[in-house]
Amino acid sequence: MTPLSHHTTRESGDEPLLSVEDLTVHFSVARAGRRALPWSPKATVRAVERVSFDVRRGETVGLVGESGCGKSTLARALIGLVPVTGGSVCWRGEETVFGARRDIGQLRRDVQMIFQDPLASLDPRMTIGQIVAEPLKTHRPDMSRAEVRVRVQAMLERVGLNAYHLQRYPHEFSGGQCQRVGIARALIGEPRLVICDEPVSALDVSIQAQIVNLLRDLQRELSLSLLFVAHDLAVVKAISHRVLVMYLGRVMEFGTKESVYGAPLHPYTRALLSAVPTPDPAVERTRGHLLLRGEIPSPLDPPSGCVFRTRCPQAIEACAAEVPAARAWPRRPGKVACIRVDEHPS
């Protein structure tokens, strides 16, 4: 069997593969309620607000936050599935406009996505072989049917499936197996960056570990870069090199895995980590938990100033007047968006 060719070594240098600067995504929606009229002005959902980060060659950036914070919207905007309102996305140093870029086909090949619902992301009328082969037929029309079949079979074996699965349909597989098919489909075209939109949230815990380990192994073998979206901080810690924490569409903290998990600076990050259970019951009973008051505000009407201030235990009057930008902190690598970060003891 002919092995799949790919980038066998990590590309040298720290130049970002993907650079995102002030990315903004807004949606216009009709106002709800009895007083809303057809000619009433529409409301604006501020799903993603001025988010900046980068993904380097061969690394995994974890994107975490509560449900509704804009993680999936951000991921879909990066690949052109959601229209961008403002900001810029640069791919390998060149600004990307998904609707106007001439070599959009090459960009689609370089950046692929793994979706949250493994079964819903697969066409039920196509066999597994057809599903995995489809990107090759789109991006590599020069390949013969025999070459495509060899590549597909090799990729299925690499993700833990077998050749006899080629003629079966998605409904015949478990959730974990369907996600393996989704991974095979994303990787068959040899991408450089894979955006993983909560790829394990719909799976059992034991299957989650298998998929995470599979992604880590494939990343080492193929020198992939990953943007891993999840709300499970334990999963993100297991796979990520750097971590981006979002709340209500904005960046709260961005840094290395060791700094974010070992010495979090933002109150929201500390609250998220305090909610993660510890396997040792004795340790769990003695732990202090930082409980957040209130509910997440609506993105239709976010709070003034810091969007986290209405739930923040350290909020002061100045937090309502100033929108804190994610800025570098001299005592630790990374960025944090909090006007009181200088009061942090570490």
Q: pLDDT tens, 77-102?
A: 998 888 899 998 888 888 876 544 55
In a domain, 343, yes or no: yes
pTM: 0.86
Q: What is the mean pLDDT of residues 296-322?
A: 90
Res 298 pLDDT > 70: yes
CA nearest to 161, candidates 148, 179, 186: 179
Please check the confidence at residue 313 and state whether its pLDDT lies above 70: yes
**292 falls within a domain:** yes
Confirm whether 187 is domain-assigned.
Answer: no
> Has residue 273 been placed in a domain?
yes
Q: What is the pLDDT of residues 61-76, one digit of tens each?
A: 999 998 889 999 999 9
What does DSSP say about strands 60-64 and 242-247: parallel, antiparallel, or unpaired? parallel
Name the domain count of the chain.
1
Question: Per the domain annotation, does 325 fall within a domain?
Answer: yes
Degrees to nearest 5, angle at CA 72 with 108 and 158? 55
Task: Give the pLDDT of residue 193.
Answer: 94
Helices vs strands, H then E, count in the chain: 10, 12
Name every residue whose Cβ is closer than 8 Å to that of residue 344 and which is 6 or more positions away in sequence.
265
Domain membership flag for residue 74: no
Q: Does 180 map to a domain?
A: no
Strand partners, 89: 20
Domain that holds residue 328: 266-346
Question: Is the Cα torsion angle 308, 311, 317, 321 positive or negative in sign?
Answer: positive
> Could you give the percent of the chain with pLDDT greater than 90?
46
- Considering the domain boundaries, does residue 108 fall inside one? no
